[in-house]
Structure 1
């Protein structure tokens, strides 16, 4: 007989290689009138569940979780948890959630879209169905995205200089061209990219000190490396930590780069921008609208991608397991 001190029903998927774990049971009722408030309540009172469900041995450093919650503002509500931090918005996980809703029968053809309240705001998720009735792809109409600071110069410990642009895509990012650094973005170079990206993140702490938090100076952003591969096309690698990178092209990171390109007049409303990951899987992005956010020009991007179900599972925490709380080795 098995004695447990917790079981959790989850559905796992991947979006262009990066995982999403939708947590369907085991989370207590959360206080709050908004998704942001419920997320903060989870963080303040139930953060131990994040490690239990995302860290090893049940998960790994790159695992991202999605917690569905009620919403008075949208069709659905959800917030995002990761192995290290809480995310206000997550593009790949939103696409993964659409696939999960379709896989469970919560949504079905011919539904064209649904709205989702996230901590960053309400987004619209367009749906494209395959002839067999399965969900082929999802299209996220994101929150307003805009540029914070351009051409922030960062000095690395080895004497090299790095130039970064800060842009918001639902989360703040430092956008860095890989070419001047001699960094090739491919699946054999992920470790080198993570090491360099983590060094840039540490150096950004000094560069951003005293900058306006509303323009990206509130915390040190993750580093989105890009490598141009053709007109309106680039390979992306998002470095989150020394041992963690986004396997997908990054939906919010792609949104941030779209905002930067639009700000510089390098793309127009008729342009489709293609962001590839290291494995050659793509997101397609377009400008859906131009708006004003915080008194400055912004865009509403649409990010299109596919997700695939990988597991329907019950995570079991057996009583007496010394590692039931989860662990991460860095």
Structure 2
């Protein structure tokens, strides 16, 4: 059997959403910063993203993490997904912490590490159990803020809904699920995806907004400080977890509306019943915008240690997506 490619990977899930860390098999990336290395990979090796994340070796919702060289932090990494490149990814950062612990790169008792991402340097705190197993990961994310409130969106059925546009490392349009007529349960995903695609179409071409291709974050509040999240991502797939960067954006939105103060806790839940615990660690100003420093705590679990291969004769070497 003649191989064209061979990659060593570790798969995990964070509150239900997958992360595939590619440990070996990739070409060296050029660039002084992690962002530059990400851009080099995108411009010269994007076919490998399809090979690693698309079917038949992956699936439409797969997220990958590529370790990178950092000159400013303990570790560096950039994020790839089945459809786009991400500047930041909260669930994958938590998954990377679990992978580093599982491979012995973070000995038990290590308090944390810094991670350079394309969005900036973030801090990752670690909580260890008495048996030296990793028990929780806390991400102190990039400055997050709510840029625009009450964006009016007219839907095809004649209804109008509003969205708040917030940034948590990635842009999100935050929409109240009840106002949109959605149930955030597993059997409501199809309708959420349909409506999410329509809302995304309403943002395209808007010259009055700082972001025109946000992910759509539907919120169903169970109490003032606890809610279920369903995020419609690029390619009209959805996040199985409560979404780390989305939770950061949600904290910024709540703070901007005077509903969450510095030091207050918030619980973000997924439609699977998994959850993240979040808190506003600090407030300030970022690029002239009132901003917060969010912390999101969750946990990941390893699902596979694998070698992914591609035969030289494989007609589907670059993968495919069906949805």
Same structural fold, with TM-score higher than 0.5 when normalized by the shorter chain: yes
RMSD: 1.0
Q: Determine the structure 2 residue equivalent to 1:229.
A: 222
Q: Does 2:40 correspond to 1:47?
A: no
CA distance in 1, matches of 2:109, 2:179: 47
Contact preservation (8 Å) 1:57, 1:326: yes
Matches within 5 A, 1:133-172: 133-172=132-171
Once the 2 structures are TM-superposed, how far is the Cα of residue 121 of structure 1 from its aligned partner?
0.2
Q: Does 2:119 correspond to 1:120?
A: yes
Segments ≥4 residues shifted beyond 4 Å: none
Q: Structure 2 vs 1, CA of residues 38 and 241 (structure 1 numbering), >3 Å: closer, same or farther?
A: closer
Matches within 5 A, 1:1-330: 2-206=1-205, 209-211=206-208, 216-217=210-211, 219-241=212-234, 243-330=236-323
CA distance in 1, matches of 2:213, 2:113: 32
CA distance in 1, matches of 2:235, 2:170: 19
Q: Deviations over 1:176-228 (max 9, x none)?
A: 0001122110111111111111111111214xx2125xxx33x3101000000
Q: Deviations over 1:48-86 (max 9, x none)?
A: 110000000000000000000110010000000001110
Contact preservation (8 Å) 1:194, 1:241: no
Once the 2 structures are TM-superposed, how far is the Cα of residue 134 of structure 1 from its aligned partner?
1.3
Q: Structure 2 vs 1, CA of residues 267 and 77 (structure 1 numbering), >3 Å: closer, same or farther?
A: same
SS in 2 for 1:310: strand
Once the 2 structures are TM-superposed, how far is the Cα of residue 47 of structure 1 from its aligned partner?
0.5
| Most deviating of 115-124 and 285-294 | 285-294
Q: Structure 2 vs 1, CA of residues 53 and 242 (structure 1 numbering), >3 Å: closer, same or farther?
A: closer
Contact preservation (8 Å) 2:263, 2:281: no
CA distance in 2, matches of 1:93, 1:221: 19
Contact preservation (8 Å) 2:124, 2:137: yes
Unaligned runs of 5+ in 1: none
Once the 2 structures are TM-superposed, how far is the Cα of residue 329 of structure 1 from its aligned partner?
1.9
Once the 2 structures are TM-superposed, how far is the Cα of residue 243 of structure 1 from its aligned partner?
4.5
Contact preservation (8 Å) 1:198, 1:241: no
Contact preservation (8 Å) 1:282, 1:305: yes
Contact preservation (8 Å) 1:99, 1:308: yes
SS in 1 for 2:96: helix
Once the 2 structures are TM-superposed, how far is the Cα of residue 264 of structure 1 from its aligned partner?
1.4
SS in 1 for 2:248: helix
Q: Structure 2 vs 1, CA of residues 241 and 159 (structure 1 numbering), >3 Å: closer, same or farther?
A: farther
Q: Structure 2 vs 1, CA of residues 239 and 94 (structure 1 numbering), >3 Å: closer, same or farther?
A: same
SS in 1 for 2:321: coil
Aligned residues: 323
TM-score by length of 2: 0.98
Once the 2 structures are TM-superposed, how far is the Cα of residue 242 of structure 1 from its aligned partner?
6.0
Q: Structure 2 vs 1, CA of residues 229 and 23 (structure 1 numbering), >3 Å: closer, same or farther?
A: same
